[in-house]
Amino acid sequence: ELRSKLAELYKSSKDTVSVFGFRTQYGGGKSTGFALIYDSGEAMKKFEPHYRLVRYGQATKVEKASRQQRKQRKNRTKTVRGTAKNKAATKDKKKKK
C-alpha cells in the first residue's frame, strides 16, 4: 500500500520502491520508516538485500534445513573421517522420516 502511494507520488513504478524499518509512535496514529526509490528494477535487484526482494516477490526464498538440524548434521560428521562423512550426513535424513 505504501509502496504504491510512494510510487505514485514520485512518478515511478511500484517495483522500484523499497520500504522498510517502520516504527509506530507511542499511542499509535503515526509511523516512521525508510524508503528507497531505484531508477529501475534491475538496479533494485542489484543493490537491495535478498530478504527484502523475497518480501516484495522479486526473488524466491532459498529453502534449507532448520538451524538445529544443520548443527546436528555438522556434529554428526565430526565423529567420522573421510568419505564416511557423507554417510553420516545422510543417515540423519533417513531417521527423521
Kind and range of the H or E run holding 31: strand 31-37
40: alpha, beta or left? (left if phi > 0; alpha if psi -120 to 50): beta
SS3 94: helix
The backbone torsions φ and ψ at residue 61, rounded to the nearest 5 degrees and listed phi first, read -75, 140
- How high is the pLDDT of residue 81? 84
CB 37 within 8 A of CB 11: no
Block means of pLDDT (10 residues each) for the chain, length 97 residues? Answer: 90 91 90 93 92 90 92 90 81 59
3-state SS record for 38-80: CCCHHHHHHHCCHHHHHHCCCCCCCCCCCHHHHHHHHHHHCCC
